[in-house]
Amino acid sequence: MKKFLLGILALGLVVALAACGDKSGDKQDEKSVKLGATPGPYSDMLNKAIKPELEKKGYKVEVQEFSDYIQPNNALNTDTIDANLFQHTIYLENFEKENEMDLSALITVPTAPMGIYSNKFKSIEEIEDGATIAIPNDPSNAARAFLVLKDQGLIELDPNAEELKASEKDVVTNVKNLKFQPMEAGALPRAVEGTDLAAVPGNFALAADMNLLDALALENMPDQYRNVVAVKADNEDSQLAKDLVEIVKSAEFEKIIDEQFEGFGKPEWMK
């Protein structure tokens, strides 16, 4: 009987040790995280300004790049990645609604603004009457273009129009009689060569090796158009989520933005 009891105790000890080992493994897995982005400035932001700080906190970090704007949210929803950085709030909210997902924006980050570029004119004041301006053909980015033109005093919008959905039909005054030429956003950097002016979203400008500071005017974008660090809603109170917010709010993060992401517009909370 004594030997039998000792055997049971020994077996219990082995099970207990095995359980401890499993918990240790789980804890280690929790420190291994995968962050998603599209190639370009926001992948760079993850690698230069966020990944190093997470590693200082003991995380093992992998940054995965996606070739389109659909995969990063699908991967987030299926827990293939733990967080992503590539989209603004309006896109995120529309995407999760259309695809029946529950995702959350943790914090807004500095974002490459849309700019008005020209190889013909050197300033807004030089723009000639009847000039043609290429603008994005998708409603969200087109509205941004009209807001930039409004801020520069080139057009006036119907005061009853919803600014974030502004379109050409909402233009009530066109000071320079600008002609609007809608086209795919990705083609706008090339349009700088073929048209008088082009309203180019910041991510496409950077992908085409354009200098944001060469723009005649840069967008003072609403925060809804600034990119966000996003997670699955179930994880918005996780330790990783808290650490990501802490990092983005840190002085070190802002220093890297100032040094390596010139021209990026800062969200209201950073001003």
Domain boundaries, the chain: 25-111+224-270, 115-220
What is the mean pLDDT of the segment spanning 83-101? Answer: 94
Are the C-beta atoms of residues 92 and 103 closer than 8 Å to each other?
A: yes
Average pLDDT, the chain: 90
Question: Residues with Cβ < 8 Å from 216, sequence gap 6 or more?
Answer: 115, 116, 117, 118, 121, 122, 123, 124, 197
* φ, ψ for residue 212, nearest 5 deg: -55, -35
Kind of pairing, strands 60-65 and 155-157?
unpaired
Q: Quick one: average pLDDT of 118-136?
A: 98
- The yes-or-no verdict on residue 103 having pLDDT over 90 is yes
24-38, 160-174, 182-196, 207-221: segment of lowest average pLDDT: 24-38
Query: Is 91 strand, coil or helix?
Result: helix
SS3 35: strand
Token pair listed for 176: 């320079």
pLDDT the model gives residue 24:
39
Q: CB-based contacts of 139: which residues, under 8 Å, 6+ apart? A: 165, 167
Task: Please classify residue 200 by burial: count the beta carbons closer than 10 Å to its beta carbon, then call 0-12 exposed, 13-18 middle and 19+ buried.
Answer: buried
For 61, 80, 82, 92, the CA distances from 33, given in Å and listed in that order, are 5, 10, 6, 21
Q: What percent of the chain has pLDDT over 90?
A: 80
Is there a shared CATH topology between the 25-111+224-270 domain and the 115-220 domain?
Answer: yes
Residue 29: per-residue pLDDT: 55
Rounded to an integer, the average pLDDT of 147-169 is 95
Is the CATH number 3.30.1330.60 carried by domain 115-220?
no
**Looking at residue 140, what is its pLDDT?**
85
Q: Which helix (H) or strand (E) holds 193?
A: helix 188-194
Q: What is the pLDDT of residue 159?
A: 95
Confidence of residue 108 (pLDDT cuts 50, 70, 90): very high
pLDDT band at 186; cut points 50, 70, 90 = confident
pTM: 0.79
Read off the pLDDT of each residue in 156-172 and give the average, rounded to a whole number: 95
Eight-class DSSP state of 113: P
Specify the range with the lowest mean pLDDT, choosing from 5-9, 78-82, 180-184, 236-240: 5-9
Q: Is the pLDDT of residue 23 over 50?
A: no
Give helix 239-248 / helix 251-260 axis angle, nearest 10°.
Answer: 50
Question: What integer is the mean pLDDT of 11-32?
Answer: 49
pLDDT at position 30 is 65
Which amino acid is located at 78 in the chain?
Answer: T
User: 203 falls in which pLDDT band (50, 70, 90)?
Assistant: confident
For 34, list phi and psi in degrees, rounded to 5. Answer: -125, 125
Its CATH class, for the domain covering 25-111+224-270, is alpha beta
